[in-house]
């Protein structure tokens, strides 16, 4: 058994345990660490280490123990933590993920993330999903299905989200976001996401909000700063020639854990 240092960060309520990639993790251990009653409690575990093509390499493990391709809030949290332990500090960093390298840029007390891995827009026939006025699919680093709805705050996201997350159309599953327009003139909406791997609603999901902003841009022709309210607070996705995602990041606590 080894004792490993960790720090817990939150990106608008989407919380992560961050530790060195030298930590001897397993699927069962990740599940234990993320358990909110018998562990540290988190939506996922992030490990970081050296990279040959970026400032750092990130691996993200969801609360179910499985490794994900990337995570927007997780990447913002890691960038903020990495900056706090780096010398000299920089205004931008490159973070390597499973399939790409992401630029992050200092914005206030945290970092904005350039969402550079956008693909697979509406590659599925979504016409069978008739319960919602609009539907949209895209991969923003991980797959996302987005529905335009009303009364989103009263929706049973865990129940309804699980249905679409496991729908046979999506062979590897998908994340699912439900969005309601709040102020069309101000490009403001409220979004709730059911996350694959967490298997529940999270307070915020960066890749999900990016997918939501792109859906709203597609449906309503919104561009520029799109303001998205979530249970974890307001975040902004800027849609233009490049796409940037930003929000709050905070350190919750740090400590040591025996693995």
Catalytic residues: 71, 205
Residues 223 and 242: beta-carbon distance below 8 Å: no
Contact 11, 74 (CB under 8 A): yes
What is 104-168 written as a DSSP string? Answer: EEEETTEEEEE----B-TT-S--TT--SSSEEEEEESSSEEEEEE-S-GGGS-HHHHHHHHHT-T
Which H or E element spans position 33?
A: helix 27-34
Contacts of 37 (CB under 8 A, 6+ apart): none
């Amino acid at each position: 058994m080894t004792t490993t240092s960790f720090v817990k960060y939150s990106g608008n309520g989407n919380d992560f345990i961050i530790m060195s990639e030298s930590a001897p993790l397993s699927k069962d251990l990740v599940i234990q660490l993320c358990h909110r009653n018998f562990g540290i409690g988190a939506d996922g575990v992030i490990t970081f280490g050296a990279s040959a093509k970026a400032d750092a390499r990130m691996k993200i493990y969801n609360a179910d123990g499985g490794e994900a391709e990337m995570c927007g809030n997780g990447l913002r949290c890691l960038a903020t933590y990495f900056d706090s332990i780096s010398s000299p500090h920089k205004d931008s960093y490159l973070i390597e993920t499973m399939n790409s390298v992401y630029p992050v840029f200092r914005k206030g007390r945290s970092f904005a993330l350039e969402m550079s891995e956008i693909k697979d827009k509406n590659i599925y026939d979504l016409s069978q999903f008739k319960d919602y006025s609009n539907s949209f699919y895209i991969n923003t680093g991980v797959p996302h299905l987005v529905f335009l709805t009303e009364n989103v705050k009263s929706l049973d996201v865990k129940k309804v989200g699980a249905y679409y997350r496991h729908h046979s159309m999506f062979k590897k599953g998908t994340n699912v976001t439900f969005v309601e327009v709040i102020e069309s003139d101000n490009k403001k909406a409220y979004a709730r996401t059911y996350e694959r791997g967490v298997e529940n609603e999270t307070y915020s999901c960066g890749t999900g909000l990016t997918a939501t902003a792109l859906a709203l841009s597609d449906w309503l022709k919104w561009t520029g700063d799109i303001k998205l309210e979530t249970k974890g607070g307001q975040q902004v996705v800027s849609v233009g020639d490049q796409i940037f995602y930003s929000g709050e990041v905070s350190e919750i606590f740090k400590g040591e854990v025996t693995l």
